[in-house]
Amino acid sequence: VVEEDHLKNELFPIFEDLSKDDQDSVRVLAVEAGIILVSLLRDDPTKLNAIKPIMKELAADRSWRSRYMIAERIVEIQEAFKDKFTDKETAEIY
């Protein structure tokens, strides 16, 4: 449990860094963290729009593990984004 400001200003930048880490095992774990962040920041369009490209990058990652994790969690991703992520966008990353 953290305050929303702490989540946006301190934890979100850490998530961004982890999603671009050199180790694929770290990027795989970033997928789950991204899903959680989306569900917590759903009402903040600025942060939500910042998470979308990160999730799309993970879907096109050079590591098959990251791509697999996105495919494995596609339903959770869609549920977290709700109407903020179109069916077309979901199909593209899948």
> What pLDDT digit, counting tens, does each position of 24-69 carry?
999 999 999 999 988 888 888 888 888 889 999 999 999 999 999 9
Q: Provide the terminal-to-terminal Cα distance of the chain, rounded to the nearest Å.
A: 31
The pTM (predicted TM-score) of the whole model is 0.81
Contacts of 13 by beta carbon, 8 Å cutoff, 6+ apart: none
